[in-house]
Each structure stands twice: as structure tokens, then as C-alpha cells.
């Protein structure tokens, strides 16, 4: 049974593409999700918390340099890329802010799945995601305000409050449940939580696509190209940053995945809550599709060529 659900989870890219296509064909099937987006993302974060143990924090202190490299690359490379791309391609203010919002978000839980499929360092990927997620409670609002505050009015404290409610509390709640009921969580949570998270993100992306069909139809050519280059650049620069620090191949691949795959669901939820007018959430929805597709392609390629330091 667990193998069956794991296979369904590994088809993350397929479900997101199907959901997006379905939303374009019949938008009414997904528009109703909008008020529930924060709750859906909270479920995703809870699922992440269920996979974490308090002992994982000890691992952070055992390999702090590795985690610091990944987290710093996360919050330097992607926000900078988003800002540069928004300026170079002269994106409309709402699209520019949406792209910056994606770039300032932490690594997504899907990165752990892609790390597993590509033969990268999964425990390290999980640690990087955990640390970037916790730090994002403060860093994401501050970076968005700094890089995108002049684009549209951005308030830091309300966004921080949202980060606490949507990210921090569910993650801590999941860890508490894992501590109190380890056997139950091990048997049920680890089997169902990843698939539930995949379905929740798929519903969020499909909802945003359905809500912004007019904007998507009018700007899809420019947005699709810009966001494709943005995501691909994240994977490449993440890899090159680790390689420049003379890290082993397996570590470089892990950083590449962690940097390249943002928590686009979080970006969508924040945009929907704090910028409900306009299409600030649309870049996040498109990014979610690209993250899955590019991540899956990279995983397939790297799986064919295992790193020499695989052991």
C-alpha cells in the first residue's frame, strides 16, 4: 500500500499539469478553492512537520556548513534573480511582485521528492527545506518589502503574521504529533501525508489558474518564457554556487534542487491573502508547474548519471 501511494506522490508533475489543464477547460470546478487556500497550504506544512523529528535539529548542528550553504544560496540567488528578471523583462507591477514573492519563498517540500528521485542527498534536502522554511517567517516578508515594496504597497507585519499562521504553527504542530504518536505517524502520516500535500498544491495551482484565465490568455507568452528562464536559472546557479565552493557532486545536485524549487504554493497563498486584487498570484501558479516539470526532467537526467560520491 505504501509503495502504491509513493508512486502516486512521485507523479507530482503529472497531477499539477492535469489540474492546470482541467482548470483551463472547466474553471468552475476549482474557483471555489480560493477561500480555502491558506488552509490547504497549512495542511501541506503540517504534512512537512509530520516528517520531521526533533532529532533533525541535531543534524543541523552536525553539518552546519552544508545547511548554511544551501539556505544562504536559497535566499540570495532566487530573490536576486526574481528582481533582475522583473526589471530586465519589464514585467507589469503585479507580475513583477508575484515573481519576487516566489523568489523570496523557502524551498518547497516537492524538492525532497525530486531529491529522492534524482539520487541526491535526501536527508540534507529535508534539513535545508526545514531551515529555510523556519527562517522564511521573517526573511520572506522582509525581502519582499525590500525588493518589491516600490512595485506595489507591501506591509511586512501582516505578512509575517500570515507566515506564522500558515507555515510555523502547522510545522510545529506536525512535529509535536510526530513526537506524541511516533508509531501512528510512522505508519499513517508518512504514507498519506506526502500524497495529501501533492493534492493540496495541485488544487491551489488549479484554482489560481482558473481565477486568472483572462490574464493568462493575455500574457501567457511573456510569462511562460520569463518564468521558464527564471526557474531554469535557479537550478543552474544553485548547482554552480555549490560547485564554486568545491563541494562534492551529490551535494551540488542537492543545492541545485533546493534552490531551484521554491514553495510556490506559499507564494500563491500570500499573494491571494495580501494582494487579492490583480494577478500577483499567477507567477506562483505557473512556477508550480515549471518546478515540477523541470525538477522531474532533471531527476530523470541525474538518475541516469549517478554521482561518483553516491555512497
For residue 173, what is the DSSP state?
A: H
Q: Which of 251, 281, 254, 252 is nearest to 266 (CA)?
A: 281
Q: How far apart are CA 298 and CA 159, in angstroms?
A: 33
CA distance 28 to 211: 9
Q: For residue range 181-218, what is the model confidence (pLDDT) as tens digits?
A: 888 877 776 677 777 877 887 888 888 788 878 877 77
CA distance linking residue 298 with residue 122, whole number of Å: 15
Considering 27-31, 33-37, 40-44, 50-54, the range whose residues carry the highest mean pLDDT is 27-31
d(Cα 230, Cα 86) in Å, to the nearest integer? 10
CA angle 83/154/235 to nearest 5° reads 30
Instruction: Give the chain's largest Cα–Cα span.
Output: 53
Q: How many CB atoms lie within 10 A of CB 242?
A: 24
Handedness of CA 29, 211, 168, 237 (dihedral sign): positive
Residue 223 is predicted with a pLDDT of 83
> What does the pLDDT average to over 42-66?
77
pLDDT tier for residue 2 given thresholds of 50, 70 and 90 = low
Output phi, psi for 72, to 5 deg.
-65, -45
CA 222/CA 230 separation, integer angstroms:
12
For the chain, give every domain's residue range: 32-304
Higher pLDDT, 197 or 78: 78
Other beta carbons less than 10 A from residue 7's beta carbon: 10
Q: What percent of the chain stands above pLDDT 90? A: 19
Interior angle at CA 247, CA 246 and CA 252, nearest 5? 120
Asked whether 107 and 262 are in contact (CB, 8 A), the reply is yes
Top-confidence range, 42-46, 51-55, 104-108 = 104-108
User: What would the grid cell of residue 205 be?
Assistant: 495551482
Classify domain 32-304 by CATH architecture: Up-down Bundle (1.20)
Amino acid at each position: 500500500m505504501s509503495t502504491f501511494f509513493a508512486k502516486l506522490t512521485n507523479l507530482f508533475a503529472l497531477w499539477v499539469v492535469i489540474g492546470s489543464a482541467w482548470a483551463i477547460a472547466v474553471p468552475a470546478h476549482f474557483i471555489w478553492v480560493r477561500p480555502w487556500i491558506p488552509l490547504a497550504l497549512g495542511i501541506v506544512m503540517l504534512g512537512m512537520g509530520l516528517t520531521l523529528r526533533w532529532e533533525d535539529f541535531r543534524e543541523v548542528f552536525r553539518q552546519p556548513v552544508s545547511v548554511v550553504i544551501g539556505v544562504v544560496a536559497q535566499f540570495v540567488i532566487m530573490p536576486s534573480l526574481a528582481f533582475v528578471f522583473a526589471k530586465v523583462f519589464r514585467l507589469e507591477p503585479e507580475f513583477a511582485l508575484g515573481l519576487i514573492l516566489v523568489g523570496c519563498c523557502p524551498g518547497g517540500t516537492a524538492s525532497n521528492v525530486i531529491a529522492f528521485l534524482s539520487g541526491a542527498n535526501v536527508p540534507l534536502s529535508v534539513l535545508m527545506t526545514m531551515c529555510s522554511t523556519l527562517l522564511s517567517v521573517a526573511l520572506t516578508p522582509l525581502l519582499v518589502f525590500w525588493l518589491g515594496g516600490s512595485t506595489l504597497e507591501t506591509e511586512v507585519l501582516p505578512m509575517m503574521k500570515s507566515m506564522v499562521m500558515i507555515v510555523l504553527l502547522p510545522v510545529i504542530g506536525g512535529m509535536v504529533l510526530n513526537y506524541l504518536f511516533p508509531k501512528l505517524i510512522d505508519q499513517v502520516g508518512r504514507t498519506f501525508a506526502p500524497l495529501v500535500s501533492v493534492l493540496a498544491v495541485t488544487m491551489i495551482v488549479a484554482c489560481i489558474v482558473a481565477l486568472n484565465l483572462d490574464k493568462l490568455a493575455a500574457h501567457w507568452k511573456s510569462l511562460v518564457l520569463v518564468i521558464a528562464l527564471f526557474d531554469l536559472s535557479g537550478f543552474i546557479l544553485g548547482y554552480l554556487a555549490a560547485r564554486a565552493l568545491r563541494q562534492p557532486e551529490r551535494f551540488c545536485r542537492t543545492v541545485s534542487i533546493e534552490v531551484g524549487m521554491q514553495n510556490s504554493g506559499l507564494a500563491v497563498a500570500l499573494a491571494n491573502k495580501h494582494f487579492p486584487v490583480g494577478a500577483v498570484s499567477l507567477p506562483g501558479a505557473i512556477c508550480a508547474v515549471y518546478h515540477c516539470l523541470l525538477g522531474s526532467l532533471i531527476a530523470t537526467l541525474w538518475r541516469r548519471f549517478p554521482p561518483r560520491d553516491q555512497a
